[in-house]
Structure 1
Amino acid sequence: MSEDFHLEPLPADADTGDLLEALGPLEERPPESQYCVFRSGRERFCLPVLDVEEVLDWPLLTKLPLGPAYLVGIFNLRGVIVPLIDIAITEGRRPGLLPKHVVVASLRVENHHEDLRIGIASDEVIGTYSVNTEDLLEQAPENVPHCIGMLRHDDRLALVIDLRRLLEVFPGPSI
């Protein structure tokens, strides 16, 4: 500890104002955001926590005949049919190696009374992270059109998914 730092006890009858005065000026810090980071294929992706409805173990799926390769199927989530997409399909996921989890994201759509839900196949859910604005890079690789930036966490990068762009690149079935 530095020599100019010392603690002095507050009197027993001290009020909140005395405590705040003893603490000194509070540092101005930028607001933190929270992201759910997960791995799909070889890449790490993330979504704002407020966009993530829940994380599930691999559900019982119904395959859709003649569906696009990225559409793994649909599943029932408490009475709501949710399409499940695999964004790692573009990387050539090994056949027969199923993901373990589903990240269910919800998107508020104008002129709809319910949020639009979409399941994203995930091999591993790494966790949720609180990040400052300096940990967010505003530019994503050009070859990943469904991402709007990158998040720096644990000396690694995760691609930040934009749900609206994701649905443009990987359109799900209309149910």
Structure 2
Amino acid sequence: MAQSGRTNSVSISHRSTLFVIPKWYNSATFPKDIMRDNISRREGLLMHNKMLFVRPDKPITSVKNNSIRYSGWTYVGSANLSESAWGRLVLDRATTKPKLNCRNWECGVVIPIRHNDEEKSSYIPSTRGITTSVAESGGGNTSAGSDDGSRVASVFEPTVPVPMKVPAQRYHGRDRPFFYMED
């Protein structure tokens, strides 16, 4: 059980902010190395946020206005990170081109985060090209110049409140997300 599920009043077997099918999580191709424990800033409460925080290595200049640069984007919406919510990418039999089969409607917005030029001297690039609060945060040692996620709140707030503690802790030992459909 992850730390996020230890300090709330929900039944211990059903406490986590992530639900994963064990077959997927235990497969060799599942990206366990990017998994982090999602702990609420509000003590003792589990979160039900559906948010993505994304940052490029360097701020990106707007194609419409060269004087505007963006440090990141936030998705806030109703969609879980599931095929049911986002659809399934398949090859169209008639055209042999990718097609998204979506049988559900969700609502969400993408919020651009303008770059603050006063912060550019302290901007820390990620080691992978894209930095997210989930993928790049981890409370351990990081290589020089890498991003451990500790600056997520300073980049996105006050535009978008960051509801989880950052940098997020890696799963360790027997920690794991809640297994949905566990035998």
- TM-score bin (small chain): under 0.3
TM-score computed with the length of structure 2 as normaliser: 0.21
- Larger strand proportion of the pair: 1
Larger radius of gyration: 1
TM-score computed with the length of structure 1 as normaliser: 0.21
